[in-house]
Amino acid sequence: MKDNERKVKPMRRFFGKEHWIGISLFLAIYDIVAVSMSYFLALWLRFDCRYSIIPAEYLRAWKLFTPAYVVVSILIFYILRLYKSIWRFASYSELLRTIIASMITAVVHTAGITAMMRYMKETFVQSHRMPLSYYIIGAIIQFCLVLGIRFAYRFILLIRTEARIGKPKGAGSNVMIIGAGSAGQMILRDINSAQEVGDRVVCIIDDNKNKQGRYIDGVPVVGGRENIMEAVENYHVQKIFLAIPSADMSTRRDILAICQETGCELKNLPGMYQLVNGDVSVSNLKNVSIEDLLGRDPIRVDMGEVFSFLHGKTVLVTGGGGSIGSELCRQVADHHPKRLIIFDIYENNAYNIQLELREKHPELDLVTLIGSVRDSRKMFQVFEQYKPDVVYHAAAHKHVPLMEDSPCEAIKNNAIGTYKTAYAAMVHGCQRFVLISTDKAVNPTNIMGASKRLCEMIIQSFDAKIKEGKAAEIPQLFTHYTKTRGGKEKLDLTANAEFFRNIKTEFVAVRFGNVLGSNGSVIPIFKKQIEKGGPVTVTHPDIIRYFMTIPEAVSLVLLAGTNARGGEIFVLDMGSPVKIDTLARNLIRLSGLKPDVDIKIEYTGLRPGEKLYEEKLMAEEGIRKTENEKIHIGCPLKFDINRFLDDLDDLMDAAYANSRDIKRLVAGMVNTYHQEGVDAIRSETYRLLMKEIGEANYGEEKDD
pLDDT the model gives residue 381:
92
The secondary structure of residue 683, as a DSSP letter, is -
pLDDT above 60: residue 315: yes
Distance of alpha carbon 17 from alpha carbon 653, whole angstroms: 75
Task: Report residue 520's pLDDT band, with 50, 70 and 90 as the boundaries.
Answer: low
Q: How far apart are the first and last CA of the chain?
A: 65
The secondary structure of residue 702, as a DSSP letter, is B
For the CA atoms of 378, 381, 387, 393, the dihedral, rounded to the nearest 10 degrees, stands at: 10
pLDDT the model gives residue 86:
63
Hey, which of 170-179, 185-194, 206-215, 577-586 has the most confident mean pLDDT?
206-215
For the four alpha carbons of 168, 171, 174 and 180, in that order, the dihedral sign comes to negative
Distance of alpha carbon 174 from alpha carbon 589, whole angstroms: 19
Ranges 104-108, 232-236, 576-580: which has the least confidence: 576-580
Q: Which of 595, 579, 588 has the alpha carbon at shortest distance from 526? A: 588
pLDDT the model gives residue 385:
93
Predicted TM-score (pTM) of the model is 0.61
pLDDT the model gives residue 497:
60
95-111: string of b/e by CB count within 10 Å (b at 16+)? eebbeebbebbbeebbe
Average pLDDT over residues 166-194: 73
Q: Give tens-digit pLDDT for 483-500.
A: 434 444 455 555 566 667
pLDDT the model gives residue 196:
47
Q: Give tens-digit pLDDT for 428-479.
A: 989 999 999 888 888 888 999 999 999 999 999 999 899 888 888 888 887 6
pLDDT the model gives residue 469:
86
699 in the Ramachandran plot: left (φ > 0), alpha (ψ -120 to 50) or beta? Answer: beta
* Position 695, amino acid: E
The secondary structure of residue 490, as a DSSP letter, is -
Q: What structural domains does the chain harbor?
A: 3-164 (no CATH), 172-288 (3.40.50.720), 304-578+606-691 (3.40.50.720)
Average pLDDT of the chain is: 78
324-341: string of b/e by CB count within 10 Å (b at 16+)? bbbbbbbbbbbbebebbb
Distance of alpha carbon 448 from alpha carbon 414, whole angstroms: 8
pLDDT the model gives residue 683:
47
Q: How far is CA 97 from CA 72, 75, 104, 468, 497, in A?
A: 16, 14, 11, 77, 82
Give the pairing type, strands 569-572 and 174-178: unpaired
pLDDT the model gives residue 483:
40
pLDDT the model gives residue 56:
82
The secondary structure of residue 521, as a DSSP letter, is B
Q: Give tens-digit pLDDT for 361-412.
A: 999 999 999 999 999 899 999 999 999 999 999 999 988 889 999 999 999 9
More confident residue, 648 or 87: 648
More confident residue, 57 or 253: 57
pLDDT above 50: residue 551: yes
Distance of alpha carbon 84 from alpha carbon 28, whole angstroms: 11
Count of H helices and E strands in the chain? Answer: 25, 22
Average pLDDT over residues 174-202: 77
pLDDT above 80: residue 10: no
Q: Which of 100, 102, 135, 99 has the alpha carbon at shortest distance from 117? A: 135
Q: In 605-683, which residue ranges form alpha helices assigned H by DSSP?
A: 641-656, 662-669
pLDDT the model gives residue 136:
92
CB contact at 8 A, 251 and 297: no
More confident residue, 67 or 15: 67
CB contact at 8 A, 310 and 559: no
CB contact at 8 A, 265 and 238: yes
Task: Report residue 25's pLDDT band, with 50, 70 and 90 as the boundaries.
Answer: confident
pLDDT above 50: residue 262: yes
Neighbour count for residue 398 (Cβ, 10 Å): 27
Neighbour count for residue 510 (Cβ, 10 Å): 25
Neighbour count for residue 607 (Cβ, 10 Å): 14
**At 593, is the secondary structure helix, strand, or coil?**
coil
Rounded to the nearest angstrom, the gap between the alpha carbon of residue 346 and the centroid of all alpha carbons in its chain is 27
Q: In 287-322, which residue ranges form alpha helices assigned H by DSSP?
A: 304-310
pLDDT above 60: residue 686: no
pLDDT the model gives residue 486:
40
Average pLDDT over residues 123-146: 82
pLDDT the model gives residue 557:
83
Give the pairing type, strands 239-242 and 286-287: unpaired
More confident residue, 523 or 275: 523
pLDDT the model gives residue 604:
84
Task: Report residue 114's pLDDT band, with 50, 70 and 90 as the boundaries.
Answer: confident
Distance of alpha carbon 692 from alpha carbon 265, whole angstroms: 30
pLDDT above 90: residue 696: no
Distance of alpha carbon 352 from alpha carbon 349, whole angstroms: 5
**At 538, is the secondary structure helix, strand, or coil?**
strand
Q: In 180-322, which residue ranges form alpha helices assigned H by DSSP?
A: 182-193, 228-234, 249-260, 272-276, 304-310
Q: Over pLDDT 70: what percentage of the chain?
A: 72
CB contact at 8 A, 395 and 343: yes
More confident residue, 498 or 653: 653
